[in-house]
Structure 1
Amino acid sequence: MILNPYQRTKLDSRSDALFYAAPRFVTHVDDFFLARLTNLYREYLQPQMRVLDLMSSWVSHLPPELSFAEVVGHGMNAAELARNPRLDRYFVQNLNEALALPLEEASFDAVLMAVSVQYLQYPEATFTEIARILKPQGVVIVSFSNRMFFEKAIQAWREGTEGDRVRLVQTYIDSIPSLKVVKTQLPRRWPWLGFTDPFYAVVGQKQSA
């Protein structure tokens, strides 16, 4: 296992369903971060793909010019997901309590996880499920910053440096035999931009059998 029991703990140990019961129609990172995220999606997503937006909300940040065969959303708040115009369908599930995804094997070309990986208490199970539902050569794109609901992030994330967090996500992916990290994207330092939310992303690809 990647994490020990202590590393999985949260400051707020109540069920996540209670924390996310009220919808939040806000973005948790700035426009610069979101622009970089959409550009990264352009690099890996193609028209008519089947896409799973895991741990999603009311907006998916997909390139507006791309049309997909289907976009399935998952999250913790039905009202937020219902507001998301890019989703063809969605489901609500607490991944820290119900570990298996109700989706068919090898049925998606891409799985997206934006600014949410820090809340997974059983990432080994989640990334095993991601590998199961991805088609061969499918990709998983995990993006994150230094922002979080601190009380709901796991200890390993809260107390790690930003570099530790990158390595942790890389380990989540590389620990699955059929997945391999193919790209790691780190923040660009442009002083003229002033303060912006740092953009991190790790991309994994499912290897052919």
Structure 2
Amino acid sequence: MIEDVLGEAIDAPLSRGMQAEVEFTVRWSSDEASHEERYLARKVDPHRDFFPPGMDAPLKGAEVGTTSTGDYIPGKVVPGQRPRKIATLDRGCFKPMKIGGRTVEPVSGRFYPYQLLGSHPGIRTTDVRPAFRVVDVRGSEVKVDFNHPLAARHLAVEARLVKVYDRRSRGKLPDWMEEICMNGPGMQARTGGLRTKFDVDYALQRQDEDDSGFYAQPRQVDHVDKTALRLIREEYTKRLSTGAKVLDLMSSKQSHLPEDMDLAVTGLGMNVEELGANTLLMERLVHDLNAEPALPFGDASFDNVVNSLSVEYLTNPRAVTAEVLRVLRPGGQFMVSFSNRWFPEKVTALWTELHDFERMGLVLDYLLEAGFKDCWTVSIRNHWRPKDDPHFANTWDSDPVFVVGGVKTNS
């Protein structure tokens, strides 16, 4: 159990030798969006662990709720940009790899595991580094970038003390910025302002193309654990106004929306029984977006539109996103959330190939190309899975949460 690892949480300052939970938030910006990465660090000891410069001192001896902040120039807390880490290689350096029966080929803007460069001098086939980025593909040559995805970014970091445990520190002394940023943050941004090539020919193919048959039976299940559901709801709540008219796109038995804001929620989904079980809905419509991407609503009908845990099933996501822009009122937001769980037979092929953070980049691309402005992404990782969750025996980690949003402007 969790208590066996950390002990009981106590109401006391974080003194030397104790451990803590600290939620780190890393904020940064790309040319196309603002970004926020939230990560719950466990077994933290600011007297021993490696923190961003200056951020450990305010947490030593601090009470729960104390916050420490820092702003860092590029290269200060993650490895900085190095021109020598950008190279042009022969395309033959890429080892063939198959996913879902398809041979993976290098594509501009995408990330790939180091193992695919096993035939290139200096790269080991057992290299565990997460990924490198393909910048460009031209004929027999591939330009690649081995720099950290955040190497050129200014980072604003916040650390908030969440819990204190009366337990002696032991084991490794983690570098918390490396822990948070080593595998994902930064991958959702475009490289050099150029669009990532997501629209490959097989991108939207699925194992099962029969939606009417698959969704005929109601599935009254939660698609992520309760911690993840709460975190999604919190992100939506931050950006909603009391009494707002909201469209819950691809809705089911729950809308992942707050129940105390007097929202007027319309649910559009595939199964009438699932929609009927959703007590938050004021209006319910059965509509297959894969068969007909056009939304059955007039222009500027909604203050906000949300799509929860379903974007990976859309076979014409760009048309649907354009429709969302149409039915939103100026100033309204479209918010898309997802995790790393899905129905294997219904998920689109490209989705299964992408890294979690690349998926945020894909959804962000949908919004940007449709015309959304003031776009943003949020990732929330490493929170505790509820003890009563059926998967708790397999993992203590809650399902990760990723949210992408954008605003319909007046222009």
Q: Deviations over 1:109-160 (max 9, x none)?
A: 0001000000011111000000000000100110000000011011110121
Whichever residue aligns with residue 378 of structure 2, its letter is Q
User: How far does residue 48 in structure 1 lie from its aligned partner after superposition?
Assistant: 1.3
Note if contact 2:385-2:397 (Cα within 8 Å) is conserved in structure 1. no
The residue number in structure 2 matching 1:77 is 271
What SS does structure 2 have at the residue aligned with 1:164?
helix
**How many angstroms apart in 1 are the aligned matches of 2:318 and 2:225?**
29
The residue number in structure 2 matching 1:133 is 327
The residue number in structure 1 matching 2:376 is 183
Whichever residue aligns with residue 82 of structure 1, its letter is G
What is the correspondence of 1:60-209 to structure 2 with a 5 Å cutoff?
60-68=255-263, 70-177=264-371, 179-190=372-383, 194-209=396-411
**How many angstroms apart in 2 are the aligned matches of 1:190 and 1:42?**
19
Note if contact 1:174-1:181 (Cα within 8 Å) is conserved in structure 2. no
**How many angstroms apart in 2 are the aligned matches of 1:106 and 1:46?**
16
Whichever residue aligns with residue 373 of structure 2, its letter is K
Query: Higher helix share goes to which structure?
Result: 1
**How many angstroms apart in 2 are the aligned matches of 1:190 and 1:77?**
31
User: How far does residue 189 in structure 1 lie from its aligned partner after superposition?
Assistant: 3.2
Query: Higher strand share goes to which structure?
Result: 2
**How many angstroms apart in 1 are the aligned matches of 2:215 and 2:239?**
30
Structure 2: where are the runs of 5+ without partners? 1-196, 387-395
The residue number in structure 2 matching 1:46 is 241
What SS does structure 1 have at the residue aligned with 2:241?
coil
User: How far does residue 2 in structure 1 lie from its aligned partner after superposition?
Assistant: 5.7
**How many angstroms apart in 2 are the aligned matches of 1:22 and 1:123?**
24
What SS does structure 2 have at the residue aligned with 1:7?
coil
**How many angstroms apart in 2 are the aligned matches of 1:94 and 1:35?**
27
Whichever residue aligns with residue 277 of structure 2, its letter is R
What is the correspondence of 1:6-25 to structure 2 with a 5 Å cutoff?
6-13=202-209, 15-25=210-220
Among the aligned pairs, what percent are the same residue? 39
Note if contact 1:9-1:121 (Cα within 8 Å) is conserved in structure 2. yes
User: How far does residue 32 in structure 1 lie from its aligned partner after superposition?
Assistant: 1.0
**How many angstroms apart in 2 are the aligned matches of 1:105 and 1:91?**
17
Cα RMSD for the two superposed structures? 1.7
Q: TM-score w.r.t. structure 1 length?
A: 0.93
The residue number in structure 1 matching 2:225 is 30
Change (3 A) 1:127 1:39: same
**How many angstroms apart in 1 are the aligned matches of 2:280 and 2:333?**
19
Q: Deviations over 1:167-197 (max 9, x none)?
A: 10010101112x1253211123358983110
What SS does structure 2 have at the residue aligned with 1:182?
strand
What SS does structure 2 have at the residue aligned with 1:152?
coil
Which has the larger Rg? 2
Change (3 A) 1:192 1:104: closer
**How many angstroms apart in 2 are the aligned matches of 1:180 and 1:159?**
27
Note if contact 1:182-1:204 (Cα within 8 Å) is conserved in structure 2. yes
Aligned residues: 206
Structure 1: where are the runs of 5+ without partners? none
Q: TM-score w.r.t. structure 2 length?
A: 0.48
Change (3 A) 1:145 1:181: farther
Q: Deviations over 1:60-119 (max 9, x none)?
A: 121121102x21100000111011111111111111111111001011000010000000
Whichever residue aligns with residue 206 of structure 1, its letter is K
Change (3 A) 1:191 1:63: closer
**How many angstroms apart in 1 are the aligned matches of 2:384 and 2:301?**
43
**How many angstroms apart in 2 are the aligned matches of 1:8 and 1:184?**
23
**How many angstroms apart in 2 are the aligned matches of 1:170 and 1:139?**
13
What SS does structure 2 have at the residue aligned with 1:126?
helix
Change (3 A) 1:176 1:2: farther
The residue number in structure 2 matching 1:3 is 199
**How many angstroms apart in 2 are the aligned matches of 1:173 and 1:111?**
12
Instruction: Please list every run of at least 4 consecutive aligned residues from structure 1 whose deviation after the TM superposition is greater than 6 angstroms.
Output: none
